[in-house]
Structure 1
Amino acid sequence: MNIESMPTYDQSEQLAKATAGVAAFAAKRNDRWYPLDHIASDGGWINDPNGLCYFKGRYHAFYQLHPYGTQWGPMHWGHVSSADLVTWRREPLAMAPSFEAEKDGVFSGSAVVSDDGKLVIYYTGHRWRNGVNEDEGNLQEQCMAVSDDGVHFEKKGVVVPCPDDRILHFRDPKVWKQGDEWRMVFGVSTPEHKGEIWMYRSDDMVNWTFDRPIYRHPDPDVFMLECPDMFPLGDKWVICYSAMGLEPKGFQARNHNNAGYVIGSWEPGGDFHQETDFHLWDDGHNYYAPQTFQAPDGRRLVFGWMAPFTQPIPMEDDGWCGQFTLPREVTLAEDHLRTRPIREFAELDKDKRDFGPIELGVNESRDLVSDALTADIQMDIDLSSSQAERIGLELHRTPNGDHTLVCYDDQLERVVIDRHCNTYGDRGYRTAPVDKSAGSLKLRIIVDRGSIEVYVNDGLEVMSSYSFPADGPRAIRLITESGEGKAMITSLSIATPDTIWEGTGR
């Protein structure tokens, strides 16, 4: 273990400065799009979920944080926790850059509970090779920190140094215990600039030995696999990663970088055998860097980062930027994963109203809600009895006509989230496939102040996208477009989720 015992900076002083930086943004934050039901920093920029775990009676979610700006910058670790996955409180910032190996950023990582009951975090220490930016690549090593209370951490230094100076990306460790042995996987861009996931193993959590490349991406354009994860589900193993360099093809991989997974089989000491094609975690505009963990009841849960990859990013002018998705339960659905909101989220729902069943004619619309900051919408469409080409909801509809459309498109046979009527932010549309032969479509749509999540057929597909409404009340309107006849909505309900933030009310 290469412990660098002389800190470059005093950790407590760096955390105090970072805390003041976040507080300065929070004091003047514009909340027009700030989430009520999604985790975000009080101020500043956030990205990847980190260190997801359950420790000493609470769920802990850490995140990459730039406390001095609303664009990406020197990474710290922010922290929130919850007793029930429903109501969250803000914890003190967990880590700031304080020694040489991490002087340009405390990058992403994971958390595990040690055999002696401590919370152990593994993360990437980051430096720029040229001391300024990424033009000449990164110097990255895997580091370790330990906590007795889950809030205050003692850094232990570098535990996995980079083995080859030609490697420019070497980051994002995910650790778990396999039998009597600890396993670590992280993303690597090889000297040949190929994206791989490497596995290490350890008996004592401190001394780590290279095992093998557990996954090599087959696409020669993919040069790095960020934020890898590897976990069992049923009788299978899942490897997930965020692919850098993946080119768009048809409806697939339309975002700047794209997060997905493959399913296969694995036995310790052997290779991973892939049994499915790559599948996106989420088909929306804004999803990246997911991380999973196991809840005490055995459920596999996942948070993703709603990544604002494409300019303009209007929320960065409001004193904050970036949020998580809702926590989702992950289960196997044959050759891919089903992800849906945790069952606990329904505890936030208030004032549920039932509107269905509804029959709409061609090009007809119906106003459902005049103003909604948040909404939990459940809608079932009878596809076999509907002839409209599009059936859906205009969300965040403001008096100037701005809205985001979520609909079933019969020509595409896909669910569409379409932002072409948005004044603020990136536009464009994304789609998710639907098996029309089933004769019906079930949608659950979670609306927050500045985002929309669409769950298709109990989470067989999901779409997560930012949607920044214009000024004024934010209506919800049911619509149909074109076609040979009516649309049949067999059920439709809308509830109003309360805020997740502890002690804040609305």
Structure 2
Amino acid sequence: MNQNANEQTDMTAQLEKAQAGIDELFQHRNDRWYPLCHIASKAGWINDPNGLIFFKGRYQAYYQLYPYGTKWGLMHWGHVSSEDLVTWRREPLAMAPSLEAEKDGVFSGSAVLADDGRMVIYYTGHRWRNGVNEDQGNFQEQCMAVSDDGIHFEKKGVVVPCPDDRILHFRDPKVWKQGNRWYMVFGVSNVEKRGEIWMYTSQDMEHWSFDRVIYRHPDPDVFMLECPDMFPVEDKWVICYSAMGTKPHGFNQRNHNNAGYVIGTWQPGGDFHQESDFHLWDLGQNYYAPQTMEAPDGRRLVFGWMSPFTEPIPMQDDGWCGQFTLPREVTLAGDHLRTRPVAEFSRLRKDTRDLGPIDLDVNETRTLVEDARTADIEMTIDLDRNQAERVGLEVHATQDGGHTMVCYDDQLGRIVLDRHSNTYGDRGYRTAPLDGHTDQVKLRIILDQGSVEVYVNDGLEAMSSYSFPSDGPRAIKLFSESGEGQAHISSLTVSALDTIWETPDK
């Protein structure tokens, strides 16, 4: 199974070539929307988080990367790391195609700590069946590589071959150890083109056997479950996946593909018993392919990809495309999950201003900050005293009238993230329920140069969306719209944010 020295040398050459591609794109990078407090590649296209693990005293975060342009292409693995989930360091590119099984892409996967102390990653080797494009489908197999330092990887080749030539989607392994046995789940489009998650097991990490179909999506239109994950929270187990083929339904599943989860129970050697409905991880326009990890202190963390699926994608003209969401802590909240920024993120706050409480008259707009490239905003709206139809914030508000709106809508009884006035990019709106909160609503809004993340009632719901403001100052404005009387803001603080990057890009 081990690969020869020539193949390893070839990967080194491919990594050097890929880094040159990144450096060339960086020379022309436009930073107008480039994130200051979210993980992104120095340049090029990124998508799924991969290989999340705490290793050698640092959080290691890998990601899918196309180093030669700003659209999806030949997949590599990029890499960043952090001691504290706050300050991140760019690491050398980790993986490039070098084997026949992966000649058209080193696809997504996960990382685990082996019993001998080494890092082991499992990922999907991808190649086109016709050698050119996906017209005749793709051929995918699960591969393995090992590392002593998290920087340099030795490929071991295919460990789970595709069992049936009719299967066109067979990818994204997530691996963990339970007792003395290793478990792997990955997404499959079966021979009937139904989306499933398969489970394999192993005693030695190299020889894997099929255990069972651990989950099958009930909707026959869903043909693939990408980037699956399976993990415990308290006394429950969660299966999450990114569903391909879902149809919009009311407020839900409005995106091109949709990432969510179900909660239930599971015991090794048995079936998964679902106990909750499917719930989206994030209700914004741009969220996909999340992956979780266990922190050293036992917290379950999740990183997501802010997916720019819908054209136009204006940042593609800027030498980079795509970013992660903030790292979030995952906890159980009844029949769904609570996700909120890790506590460490608050260390980035600076110049905090306490602006509340505030009463707004009917149709009043008040400028809170004249120009904010980044911000961490915490706001509580008193619903018992609110008489406005809408009350909230305009962020990324520019002199041409462009802005993104985050507000409570009394007619809907929901939180709205609305991009109808965006100057660039996709528009439209998304909403989040209040999950039974009727007396007040707490909002935390994280602004970066080209994105907005909204956390509702301490993370019972979240919304992540790109927001591309035009040139000039980017104000934050508080507004009240229509209704019978005043809106009451119980509390409001606004903090600027430092950059997450250890050293400036150069």
TM-score (ref. length: structure 2):
0.99
Contact 1:5 1:157 in 2 (8 A): no
Give secondary structure in 2 for the equivalent of 1:465. Answer: strand
Shift of 1:27: 1.5
In structure 1, distance between residues paired with 2:444 and 2:407: 12
In structure 2, distance between residues paired with 1:346 and 1:435: 25
1:137 aligned partner: 137
Contact 2:2 2:155 in 1 (8 A): no
Contact 1:290 1:304 in 2 (8 A): yes
1:411 aligned partner: 411
1:84-123 pair list within 5 angstroms? 84-123=84-123
Shift of 1:435: 4.0
In structure 2, distance between residues paired with 1:227 and 1:2: 26
2:247 aligned partner: 247
In structure 2, distance between residues paired with 1:217 and 1:357: 47
Output the amino acid matched with 2:120: V
In structure 2, distance between residues paired with 1:362 and 1:435: 27
What value does the CA root-mean-square deviation take over the aligned residues?
A: 1.3
1:189 aligned partner: 189
2:227 aligned partner: 227
Give secondary structure in 1 for the equivalent of 2:420. Answer: strand
Shift of 1:503: 2.6
Shift of 1:504: 3.1
Shift of 1:438: 3.1
1:41-190 pair list within 5 angstroms? 41-190=41-190
In structure 2, distance between residues paired with 1:496 and 1:199: 45
Shift of 1:444: 0.2
In structure 1, distance between residues paired with 2:49 and 2:344: 20
Output the amino acid matched with 1:290: P
Output the amino acid matched with 2:497: P
Output the amino acid matched with 1:62: Y
2:381 aligned partner: 381
In structure 1, distance between residues paired with 2:209 and 2:118: 22
Shift of 1:3: 5.8
Higher alpha-carbon deviation: 437-446 or 109-118: 437-446
Shift of 1:48: 0.1
In structure 2, distance between residues paired with 1:195 and 1:438: 38
Output the amino acid matched with 2:91: E
Output the amino acid matched with 2:130: N
1:272-421 pair list within 5 angstroms? 272-421=272-421
Give secondary structure in 2 for the equivalent of 1:215. Answer: strand
Contact 1:401 1:421 in 2 (8 A): yes
Contact 2:416 2:429 in 1 (8 A): yes
Output the amino acid matched with 2:404: T
Give secondary structure in 1 for the equivalent of 2:384. Answer: helix
Output the amino acid matched with 2:134: E
Shift of 1:70: 0.2
Change in 2 beyond 3 A, CA 1:504/1:6: closer
Shift of 1:132: 1.1
Output the amino acid matched with 1:496: A
Shift of 1:348: 0.5
Shift of 1:133: 1.1
Note the residue ranges of structure 2 that are not aligned, 5 or more in a row. none
Note the residue ranges of structure 1 that are not aligned, 5 or more in a row. none
Give secondary structure in 2 for the equivalent of 1:438. Answer: coil
1:259 aligned partner: 259
1:208 aligned partner: 208
TM-score (ref. length: structure 1):
0.99
In structure 2, distance between residues paired with 1:269 and 1:107: 28
In structure 2, distance between residues paired with 1:465 and 1:135: 31
Give secondary structure in 2 for the equivalent of 1:10. Answer: helix
In structure 2, distance between residues paired with 1:226 and 1:404: 30
In structure 2, distance between residues paired with 1:400 and 1:120: 51
Give secondary structure in 1 for the equivalent of 2:19. Answer: helix
In structure 1, distance between residues paired with 2:2 and 2:277: 39
Encode CA deviations 1:399-425: one digit per residue, 9 max, x unaligned.
111000000001011100000101100
1:459 aligned partner: 459
2:430 aligned partner: 430
In structure 2, distance between residues paired with 1:74 and 1:125: 12
Give secondary structure in 1 for the equivalent of 2:308. Answer: coil
1:22 aligned partner: 22
In structure 2, distance between residues paired with 1:204 and 1:437: 49
In structure 2, distance between residues paired with 1:367 and 1:350: 20
Contact 1:8 1:100 in 2 (8 A): no
In structure 2, distance between residues paired with 1:200 and 1:4: 27
Shift of 1:8: 9.5
In structure 2, distance between residues paired with 1:208 and 1:437: 47
In structure 2, distance between residues paired with 1:406 and 1:158: 47
Give secondary structure in 2 for the equivalent of 1:308. Answer: coil
In structure 2, distance between residues paired with 1:308 and 1:132: 25
Encode CA deviations 1:267-288: one digit per residue, 9 max, x unaligned.
0000000000000000000000
Give secondary structure in 1 for the equivalent of 2:346. Answer: helix
In structure 2, distance between residues paired with 1:139 and 1:503: 40
In structure 2, distance between residues paired with 1:250 and 1:133: 35
Change in 2 beyond 3 A, CA 1:272/1:2: farther
In structure 1, distance between residues paired with 2:78 and 2:503: 19
Output the amino acid matched with 2:101: A
Runs of 4+ in 1 over 2 A off after TM superposition: 1-9, 435-438
